[in-house]
Amino acid sequence: MENLNLIRTKNPHTAANVVTDIIKEKIDNGFLNVIGLATGQTMIPIYNEWIKNEDLSFENIVSFNLDEYVGISTKSSNSYTYFMNEYLFKRKKFKESFIPDGMAENVNVECEQYESLIDKYPIDLIILGVGENGHIAFNEPGSPSNSLTHVAKLSDSTKIVNGKYFNNRETIPETAITMGIGTILKAKSILLVAFGEKKRAAINKLLEGKLDSNWPITYLLEHDEVTIVTDIV
Ligand code: GLP
């Protein structure tokens, strides 16, 4: 598949270096002004690497996060806002950072506004992880390929997998605000990072090269600039 550029790495640490080099080169050459950011365990070594790298500056970069749980306060350690502050923003300065407001009074209006903001600052590169069931951001199996930022219902399997990280007696919500597949595909380029056996099925589906709405990750086949950094294949 000529649109998929596959980079094999040994482990999450080497992947973090590869991702950092790609990002740094794009920033240095002026090709990266707006970045889409993900949360999750996959991202932690990458963000650590960014923090360590003193030559890497995001001071002129605008960021948009992919998603946020609905109804979880930004002060809660279960929110993605908290995650981003903890693992990146506290220690690396960005020009401006946007994360959907999962506590908005009207979440549908929040989704529309978030999408408009993305249209105002078109994303040059989005970093994506993938769920075990092939979800990207919170676009679960069965999601349409043209959706924009919306409120998505989490699948039972995602609630189990992600629910393990919930603490403080808070339970994982039923819904989240997420960029849609259509939003993600609007980005100029996509960098997908996936590690470990649990992600094998999703990566294999993508590499099979056939669109399958039960595996949202396969919608990346519709984009012409996708790089996969993985230890799986
Ligand atoms: C969540 C996020 C996704 C992320 C996925 C994988 O569901 N909404 O954006 O890709 O988790 O997370 P992990 O890296 O922890 O496997």
135 is catalytic: yes
Query: Residues 144, 159: contact at Cβ < 8 Å?
Result: no
Token code pair at residue 113: 């506004």
Question: What percent of the chain is modeled with pLDDT above 70?
Answer: 99
Give the position, in ligand 1's atom list, of the atom nearest the Cα of 129.
Answer: 10
132-143 residue pLDDT tens? 999 999 999 999
Centre of ligand 1 to C-alpha 2, Å, is 26
Strand partners, 68: 177
Return the SS3 of 7: strand
| Whole-structure pTM value | 0.97
Query: Which of 19, 65, 69, 135 gets mutated to test ligand 1 (max ligand atoms within 8 A of its CB)?
Result: 135
18-59 residue pLDDT tens? 999 999 999 999 999 999 999 999 999 999 999 999 999 999
Give the position, in ligand 1's atom list, of the atom nearest the Cα of 162.
Answer: 7
Per DSSP, helices labelled H in the chain are: 12-28, 43-52, 80-84, 107-120, 156-163, 181-186, 200-208
Centre of ligand 1 to C-alpha 135, Å, is 8
Give the position, in ligand 1's atom list, of the atom nearest the Cα of 178.
Answer: 8
162-192 residue pLDDT tens? 999 999 889 999 999 999 999 999 999 999 9
Q: CA angle at residue 82 from 17 to 84, to 5 degrees?
A: 25
Dihedral sign for Cα atoms in the order 86, 92, 93, 94:
negative
User: Atom 4 in ligand 1: which residue has the minimum CA distance?
Assistant: 129
